[in-house]
Structure 1
Amino acid sequence: MRKWLPLFAACLGTLMLLIDVTIVNVALPDIATDLHAGLADLQWVVDGYALALAALLLVLGSLADRIGAKHTYLAGLVLFALASLGCGIADTATNLIAARVLQGVGGAAMFATTLSLLHATYLGRDRGTAFGVWGAVSGAAAGIGVVLGGVLTEALSWRWIFFVNLPIAVLAIVLTALVFPASTRHANRSVDIGGMLSFATAATALTYGVIRGGEHGWTDGRTVAALIVGAVAVVVFVAVESRSAAPMFPLALLRNRNFGATLLGASGQTFAAFACTPLVSLWLQQQLRMSPLHAGLALLPMAVTAFVVAGAFGRLAHDAAPKWTIGAGLVVVGVGSGLLTIVDAGSSWVALVPGLVVIGAGIGINAPALVSVGMAAVPPHQGGTAAGAVNTARQLGLALGVAVLGTVFHEVADAGQPMTLAHFVAGLDAAFAVAAAVGIVFGAIAFGLFHRRPQAESAKEEQQVVAA
């Protein structure tokens, strides 16, 4: 059992940071009452965390390659715990938003390094099993967050959705310090300040623009300005990286078809599988009058299926061709999203179950392979960079998906007339259809891009643990 303690430590941090993406959603009404927060404040309680997470994943992954994955992960855990305490004791909406942003910084440091730590700790089929369990935890976190948020908010108060992180973080810190070997440092590697600043600016501006566009429309002045700034920053980032002797993100990695297909699969998965969740939650709570807790429980079939399938499939993913895991798994997610279109004005929550189960199965097939293929596509010393890139693609896919599907929903549901249940369901089905198309199309493209299995680990790697 001792050999799996590092996996447990990594999964604790991953579960905690991903749960906090969704756990706050059901607590927003109570937060609004206690802190006298307006709608814009509540939006940034959610989006401030996601924005910091998406903007800093790649930056902190690259930094971890220089100072060591273990040290970066520990620092992220400490910051996340302190920020969670700040969220729990916040007395104004501004303070809560600031603490949520700090949570996102800590979460980015953790998310960027867990894969690198697991890749360095396990080999062969054990590595496949570890990535499978990690993928299962990642896939189940969104559903767990909604349910846990409902339980804590109804039984105690909204502040406990943040306080609950403290004992988990302490346990993860102790385990990480004890069970992970010291990570290799590349302290002599120069720091790509220009690349870090330009990427952080690009990711922040583009994510902000996508979030604001979904909320205020794509012609909104701030939306347009943010997207322009983001586009310019992308150009600057490419120029800086192409000229840097030690780039934060070597652009040559994108010429690796397996790695590029992995990034495509990561963004497509979160778009197709999770971007409809806020709309589904609104349908369950506003139209079907379910409580936050019951709405969270209605979404559990996807999380449970993802956990079971990923845990069972992870051991096999080590030997399977990535086109059958990432590509075909994403198509399964798309088919599941398509099944959700059976929802009509007379449906109950039960109508969601077939689609959610199929989506969960697709996530379970897809998630472990995204991790293992992405890490195998790069040299070991770039593990943090690869992990940061894959997880950045996940977060950006989710942000874009929420904005795009929200726009599709409102275009169909509003349609210049008062919104009835029938209009709401029509908008919901349109969003499901777009999510399905994204899953199937992205899956087909990824299937075509994967031309072969990643190269097998060398005999040297099988004989020794490669430091992150």
Structure 2
Amino acid sequence: MRKWLPLMTVCLGTFMLLIDVTIVNVALPDMVGDLGASFGALQWVIDAYALALAALVLGAGSIADRVGHRRAYIAGLVIFAISSLMCGLAPNPGVLIAARTVQGIGAAAMFATTFALLNSAYAGRDRGSAYGIWGAVSGASAAVGPILGGLLTEGASWRWIFFVNLPVSAIAIALCVTVLADAHAPARGRVDVGGMVSFTAAAACATYALIRANEDGWSNAGVWWLIVLAAVLLAVFVAFEARSRHAMFDLALLRNRSFVGVLLAGFLLTFAAFATFTYTSIWLQSVLGLSPLGAGLTGLPMSITAFGVSAVLGRVLHGRRPDLVIGAGLLFIGLGSLLTAALVHGPASWPALVPGLAVIGVGVGLATPILGSVSMSLVPAGRGGMAAGAVNTTRQLGFAFGIAALGSVFAARAQSSLSGGGIPDAAHVAHAIAGGQTPGLLHAAPSSGRQFLDIAAHAAAVTGVQATLAVAGAVGILASLLVVILMRPARAASREDERPPVPQPALR
């Protein structure tokens, strides 16, 4: 039992940081009433955390390689715990948003070191089992967040969604001190400040652009200026890395098709598997009238299958070709999304989601743990933070881009449905439905036309959800093909301590 304590330690941190991406969603209405802020302003309670996590995880991984993965993980836990306390005590929206930003910094330090710590603690089939359990926890966390958030908000207060992190963090810190160890000495060299600043700024601009696109649409000029600025900053980052003797990301890795395949898989997996949750939740709560807890519970089929597949097959899949395992996982995600799109129509309600979500869960359970293990096999042990940071950065950006892109798809299809139904100002109504404002629309409508608008909103929301699921399904299937093509030469995860039979980059 003691040998699994390092795994428990890493999984506690992973569970906390990932459920905090989604746990806040269901508590926003209560926060609005308690703090006296607008719903739009408090959206930054979600976005500030996601922005900090996506922008900083690669830089945090680079620092962890230099100061030690265990030390960086403990520091992340401490920052996460203190900021969680500040979130729970926040007297106004400004303090809450600032504390959530700091919480994202702590989460980035934890997320960037998980793979390296698992590699240090386990070898052989035990490593396969460890990645399987970690993948199960990771895959289930996104769906568990709304359920736990609903329970705490309805049973106690929205503040307890943050206070609950304190005892969990205390246990994780105590375990870190006693059971975690770095198998490899910290890498020598200076911290790549130029590369870190330029990449963090580029990732922050890109993520913020996607958030703005989801709120204001892709026609907004500010969105495109942010995208241009992100591209310029990314070019500056590449220039820094090409010249630096202590680069935080080795650009030579991008010549390794297997590593590029892993990055692409991380990006497209979160896009296809998780971004649709935002819009199915809007449909369930603001259109069908489910409670936050009820909407959260619809994600259980995915959580259960993801957890079961990862936990049971993690040890079995150790030694199998990673291109086929990850490709199969993405294919299941794509097929599950298409199945859900076919079942969600007309008068459909939440049961229509169950079969497809279960299939998506199988895909998440197959692909998630392998992503971590194969990325670590492609770099020396001392650069594990860099590899984990790169993969987890693409995962977070895939989620942000998926929400923005699918939001545009939802609004466009809803607008088409409303226009065909004779609703005036269909574009405004469609964006309001996509933003979860259907109850407000119905309340403001004249009583004589309320029933007609309600029927039209139901039809538009179903059409929008169908479209997002269809796009996610197509992305999952396309991702499966691309990953198999890119990763086919790699056999990095086939046996312990082997490297793929492809030229390996010279790492600085």
- For Structure 1 versus Structure 2, the TM-score category normalised by the shorter chain is over 0.9
What residue identity is the alignment partner of 1:380?
A: A
Query: Does structure 1 conserve the Cα–Cα contact (< 8 Å) formed by 2:184 and 2:381?
Result: no
Q: Which has the greater radius of gyration?
A: 2
Instruction: Describe the superposition over 1:242-285 as per-residue Cα deviations: whole angstroms up to 9, x where unpaired.
Output: 11112100001111111111111111110000000011111111
What residue identity is the alignment partner of 1:412?
A: R
Give 1:54's aligned residue: 54
Instruction: Describe the superposition over 1:128-187 as per-residue Cα deviations: whole angstroms up to 9, x where unpaired.
Output: 100000000000001111100000000000000000000000000000110012464436
Once the two structures are TM-superposed, the CA of residue 319 in structure 1 deviates from its matched residue by: 1.1
Query: Does structure 1 conserve the Cα–Cα contact (< 8 Å) formed by 2:254 and 2:260?
Result: yes
Taking the TM superposition and a 5 Å limit, the aligned residue runs for 1:104-253 are 104-182=104-182, 184-186=184-186, 188-253=188-253
| Bigger mean CA offset, 412-421 vs 162-171 | 412-421
Distance 1:319 1:344 in 2: 42
Give 2:4's aligned residue: 4
What residue identity is the alignment partner of 1:457?
A: E
What residue identity is the alignment partner of 2:321?
A: A
Once the two structures are TM-superposed, the CA of residue 309 in structure 1 deviates from its matched residue by: 0.5
Distance 2:239 2:285 in 1: 48
Once the two structures are TM-superposed, the CA of residue 84 in structure 1 deviates from its matched residue by: 0.3
Query: Does structure 2 conserve the Cα–Cα contact (< 8 Å) formed by 1:206 and 1:227?
Result: yes
Instruction: Describe the superposition over 1:384-443 as per-residue Cα deviations: whole angstroms up to 9, x where unpaired.
Output: 100011111110000000000001000110235355211111111011111011110011
Alignment TM-score, normalising by the size of structure 1: 0.96
Distance 1:96 1:172 in 2: 24
Once the two structures are TM-superposed, the CA of residue 347 in structure 1 deviates from its matched residue by: 0.9
Query: Does structure 2 conserve the Cα–Cα contact (< 8 Å) formed by 1:87 and 1:162?
Result: yes
Percent of paired sites with the same residue: 54
Give 2:84's aligned residue: 84
Once the two structures are TM-superposed, the CA of residue 40 in structure 1 deviates from its matched residue by: 2.7
Give 1:376's aligned residue: 377
Give 1:465's aligned residue: none
Give 1:261's aligned residue: 261
What residue identity is the alignment partner of 2:404?
A: A
Provide closer, same or farther for how the CA distance between residues 373 and 114 of structure 1 changes in structure 2, counting only shifts above 3 A.
same
Give 1:434's aligned residue: 471
Give 2:290's aligned residue: 290
Give 2:491's aligned residue: 453
Give 1:421's aligned residue: 458
Give 2:348's aligned residue: 347
What residue identity is the alignment partner of 1:59?
A: G
Query: Does structure 1 conserve the Cα–Cα contact (< 8 Å) formed by 2:121 and 2:183?
Result: no
Distance 1:2 1:437 in 2: 44
Query: Does structure 2 conserve the Cα–Cα contact (< 8 Å) formed by 1:326 and 1:370?
Result: yes
Q: Secondary structure at the match of 2:490?
A: coil
Distance 1:452 1:141 in 2: 30
Query: Does structure 2 conserve the Cα–Cα contact (< 8 Å) formed by 1:135 and 1:367?
Result: yes
Once the two structures are TM-superposed, the CA of residue 39 in structure 1 deviates from its matched residue by: 2.7
Taking the TM superposition and a 5 Å limit, the aligned residue runs for 1:22-61 are 22-61=22-61
Distance 1:288 1:257 in 2: 45
What residue identity is the alignment partner of 2:173?
A: I
Distance 2:134 2:67 in 1: 24
Instruction: Describe the superposition over 1:287-320 as per-residue Cα deviations: whole angstroms up to 9, x where unpaired.
Output: 2211111111111100111000011111122111
Give 1:405's aligned residue: 406
| Bigger mean CA offset, 24-33 vs 312-321 | 312-321
Give 2:395's aligned residue: 394
What residue identity is the alignment partner of 1:288?
A: L
Unpaired runs of at least 5, structure 2: 420-425, 430-455, 500-508
Give 1:463's aligned residue: none
Q: Secondary structure at the match of 1:386?
A: helix
Taking the TM superposition and a 5 Å limit, the aligned residue runs for 1:358-377 are 358-377=359-378
Distance 1:385 1:452 in 2: 20
1:331 matched to 2:322? The reply is: no
Distance 1:404 1:268 in 2: 12
Once the two structures are TM-superposed, the CA of residue 452 in structure 1 deviates from its matched residue by: 3.1
What residue identity is the alignment partner of 1:436?
A: G
Distance 2:2 2:53 in 1: 31
Query: Does structure 2 conserve the Cα–Cα contact (< 8 Å) formed by 1:22 and 1:142?
Result: yes
Distance 1:459 1:355 in 2: 37
Query: Does structure 2 conserve the Cα–Cα contact (< 8 Å) formed by 1:328 and 1:447?
Result: no
Query: Does structure 2 conserve the Cα–Cα contact (< 8 Å) formed by 1:331 and 1:362?
Result: yes
Once the two structures are TM-superposed, the CA of residue 115 in structure 1 deviates from its matched residue by: 1.1
Distance 2:381 2:286 in 1: 49
Instruction: Describe the superposition over 1:7-34 as per-residue Cα deviations: whole angstroms up to 9, x where unpaired.
Output: 0000000000101000000000000010
Query: Does structure 1 conserve the Cα–Cα contact (< 8 Å) formed by 2:120 and 2:181?
Result: no
Instruction: Describe the superposition over 1:200-256 as per-residue Cα deviations: whole angstroms up to 9, x where unpaired.
Output: 011000010011111111232321221111010011111111111121000011111
Query: Does structure 2 conserve the Cα–Cα contact (< 8 Å) formed by 1:70 and 1:183?
Result: no
Distance 2:102 2:478 in 1: 36
Taking the TM superposition and a 5 Å limit, the aligned residue runs for 1:268-307 are 268-307=268-307
Ranges of 4+ aligned residues in structure 1 off by more than 6 Å:
none
Aligned length: 460
Distance 2:398 2:317 in 1: 23
Provide closer, same or farther for how the CA distance between residues 117 and 326 of structure 1 changes in structure 2, counting only shifts above 3 A.
same
Alignment TM-score, normalising by the size of structure 2: 0.89
Query: Does structure 2 conserve the Cα–Cα contact (< 8 Å) formed by 1:301 and 1:360?
Result: yes
What residue identity is the alignment partner of 2:324?
A: W
Q: Secondary structure at the match of 1:181?
A: coil
| Bigger mean CA offset, 7-16 vs 451-460 | 451-460
Distance 2:305 2:76 in 1: 30
Query: Does structure 2 conserve the Cα–Cα contact (< 8 Å) formed by 1:23 and 1:148?
Result: yes
Distance 2:118 2:498 in 1: 19
Instruction: Describe the superposition over 1:11-62 as per-residue Cα deviations: whole angstroms up to 9, x where unpaired.
Output: 0000001010000000000000101111332211100000000000000001
Provide closer, same or farther for how the CA distance between residues 133 and 207 of structure 1 changes in structure 2, counting only shifts above 3 A.
same
| Bigger mean CA offset, 448-457 vs 172-181 | 448-457
